[in-house]
Structures are given as C-alpha cells and as structure tokens.
Amino acid sequence: MVCCSRVLLRKYGDFIDNLRLFTRGGSGGMGYPRLGGEGGKGGDVWVVAHNKMTLKQLKNKYPQKRFVAGEGANSRVSALKGSKGKDCEIPVPLGISITDENGKIIGELNKEKDRILVAEGGLGGKLLTNFLPLKGQKRVIHLDLKLIADIGLVGFPNAGKSSLLSKISHAKPAIADYAFTTLKPELGKIMYNDFKQISVADLPGLIEGAHMNKGMGHKFLKHIERTKQLLFVVDVSGFQLSSQTQYRTAFETILLLSKELELYREELQTKPALLAVNKMDLPDAQDKFHVLMNQLQNPKDFLHLFEKNMIPERTVEFQHIIPISAVTGEGIGELKNCIRKSLDEHTNQENDAYHKKQLLNLRISNTISYSELPSKNAVTSARIDIT
C-alpha cells in the first residue's frame, strides 16, 4: 500500500497548480546633491499571462523562485536624471490567481498579456529623500492555477471520463480499467467542421467527501470554478470504489456528485449542466437507463429512499441527457452537438443580458442629463428678470 501511494505522488508531481515566489522591486539610484540630480527609480516586478506557459515550466526555468528587478541608475554629471531600473516579468499560464502571504487577493490573470504589478521599485534619491535612494518593495506571492475551460467533466473514478475525452477531442489521457486513472487535469479541444473549438477539462474522479479534501478534494474541485458549464459523466450501471465501499446506482451517483459540489461551493450548482450516461454498450444498459430517466424526471418520488446527508438542497436540472458509449462511439456525435448548442444558448443569453444592461445604463444616463438641463420657462423668466 505504501509503494502504491509513492507512485501516485510521483505521477501527480508532474502537474503543478500552485507556487510560492519571492519578489523584490529594484532599489532606486543615488541622487546628486551638489547639482540636484535625481536617481532613477528601481524596476518593478510584474506577473504576465502567456498562453503556452505552465507553472511546471516556470519552476524548472527558475528553480530558486526568486524574482528581483533591476536597480535605478545613479545620477551623475553627464545624466542628472538617472534611468529607471529594468523591470522583471514573471511568465505564468492563464487562469492564475495571485495572493500575498496573508491570503489577500492581489489579482487574477485570465487573458493573454494580462499583467499585474506585484513588487514596486524604490524611488531614486531626490531632494525629498535627502538624495538617498529607497529600497524596492519585498513581497512573497502565491500563484494558484484554476483551469479555464468551456466544459468541465465531473464524475466518480472510472466513469469513463478519460475515454470520453479521447473520443470527443485530440487529447490522449491515460486510460485503464482501475479507479484512479486520471491523476492530473487533462485539457482537450472538440473540433467542429466550421473550425469552432470548445475546450474540455477532464478532472480526476471525485470521491465521497471530496468537499472535505478527501481523495484529491480541493486540489481539483477548484478547477471546476472557471469552467462555463459542467458535463456530468456517470456509469449507467452505477459505481463502487472498492469492495470496502458501498455500491451506488447511477441516480445515487448523480445525487452524491451534486452534493459534493454544493458542499464545496454552492455557486457551482448554478452552472448550466449536461449529463452523459456512459457505458451503454453493457448488458441491460437500456433497462437501467430507463430506470434512471424515470428517477431524474420524478426525483421527489425516490429521494425519501436515501439518507438525508446524500440529498443536495437543490437537484441539478440537466439541459441535455445523452446516453453514450465511449467504447463504441454511440451517442458521441449527439453529445458534441448538445455541448455546442448549450454553450451557444448560454453565450446568447449572456450577450442579451449585457446589451439590456448597457441600454438601461444609457437610458439612466440620458434621464439624468435631461433632468439637469434648464427648462424653457426658467430661461424665459431669467430674461424677464434681467430686463
């Protein structure tokens, strides 16, 4: 058992989603008291988002994890105004949240070339500082990665998420007939004939108690936060982690997954969701699927059969429920179409809401502007008073 856990740790070590870094802005340059010259300001330290960057690459390239900007130039006779020190840039992947040593959020980087100042350079020597330079800001920062994807796959181990990802995208995740195949998040892209691309994140299988950090718990639940929609993947025959754990039907699996998301962060349940019922190639799969559909359509008729701690406050309403087989390819085409349709509908709703908000703001602005204008009567009476 010990050997097994060591292997898991080594394999998981290939993926890094948080780093602690030391940063320091450059010191300012010396002033020139006799001629009133000012030293150059020290360089600043910036964190900059890059599409093709990973935290693992950052750690490998800068093993010391220290980032110090350049010092400002001293004032001298030939250049009374010293030049600014060289800025230091820390390249990071998109989806990075930056916090300080006390856990206070400094900012987030979600788009290419987004940048955040994390350590400011010191002022150069000038009259106010008695021509002595100031040191740059020191700061320890934490980089926390949360994957950005259109769709996040959610399911218990061995539900077939990795097989599904390999079917719908060009990703090549590890696939095997044991529970914890996926030990790190995998990203894939669904390619459509009109060149539309949709990104999909396969997250390691959750287990009961993931919200309490059991299994890989918070390590991967956080990656669901930035996905636009969720795709639940369940085994039509149900799930049992091991011979020591309780067997769960497909319906129970859905309830438990919903409960884990709710207990970790309630807002996750407000995300649009789809359901892929996998392994429809197995014997009696059709009968089990019909039973599941009946339970999903009439959940209140069955909830009394389960323990209260299993039942979420609100049951997830799936926009689409698609029976599939990641092995034979059954239903994969329909699933891809449903994913796109759901995302397009969600985008249209967001655009409509944005335009309505803009229109409302414009009307409010016009109303305020109009109310501030003097009326014709006011102008006329003013003329009468003057004459």
Q: How confident is the model at residue 65, as a pLDDT?
A: 95
Burial 112-150 (b: 16+ CB within 10 A, else e): eebebebbbbbbbbbeebebebbebbebbbebbbbbbbb
- Position 214 scores a pLDDT of 43
Can you give the pLDDT of all 387 residues of the chain as single tens digits?
333 333 232 333 456 888 999 999 999 999 999 999 999 999 999 999 998 898 989 999 999 999 999 999 999 999 999 999 999 999 999 989 999 999 899 999 988 999 999 999 999 999 999 999 999 999 999 998 877 789 988 888 777 777 888 888 765 544 333 333 344 667 788 888 888 889 888 876 554 444 444 444 455 677 778 788 999 999 999 988 777 778 889 999 999 888 888 888 878 888 899 999 999 999 999 999 999 999 999 888 888 878 887 888 887 889 999 999 999 999 999 999 999 999 998 888 878 887 888 888 888 877 765 555 555 444 443 443 433
Instruction: For residues 234 and 247, give the distance between their C-alpha atoms in angstroms, rounded to a whole number.
Output: 13
Domain ranges of the chain: 18-145, 149-345
Report the pLDDT value the prediction gives residue 370, as an integer from 0 to 100.
57
Q: Which two tokens stand for residue 50?
A: 């890059």
pTM as predicted: 0.67
CB contact at 8 A, 241 and 179: yes
DSSP secondary structure letters along 230-293: EEEEEETT-B-SSTTS--B-HHHHHHHHHHHHHHH-GGGGGS-EEEEEE-TTSTTHHHHHHHHH
Of the candidates 147, 354, 154, the one whose C-alpha atom is nearest the C-alpha of residue 273 is 154
Q: Encode 88-103: b = buried (16+ Cβ within 10 Å), e = exposed.
A: bebbbbbbbbbbeeee
Q: Could you name the CATH architecture of 18-145?
A: Distorted Sandwich (2.70)
Query: Which pLDDT score is estimated for 212?
Result: 44
Reduced to 3 DSSP states, what percent helix, strand and coil does the chain have, rounded to the nearest 5?
35, 25, 40
Comparing 18-145 with 149-345, is the CATH topology the same? Answer: no
Q: What is the pLDDT of residues 286-298, one digit of tens each?
A: 999 999 999 999 8
pLDDT digits (tens, 9 = 90+) for 89-140: 999 999 899 999 998 999 999 889 999 999 999 999 999 999 999 999 999 9
Q: What are phi and psi of 202, to 5 degrees?
A: -95, 115
Specify which residues 131 forms β-bridges with. none
Radius of gyration, CA atoms only, the chain: 29
Of 266, 223, 242, 224, the residue nearest 157 (C-alpha): 242
| Alpha carbon distance 134, 143 (integer Å) | 27
**Chain mean position to CA 236:** 29
Q: What's the topology of domain 149-345?
A: Rossmann fold (3.40.50)
Q: Are strands 115-119 and 45-49 parallel, antiparallel or unpaired?
A: antiparallel
Tokens of 18: 């948080």
Determine the Cα–Cα distance for residues 187 and 226; give it in Å rounded to an integer: 13
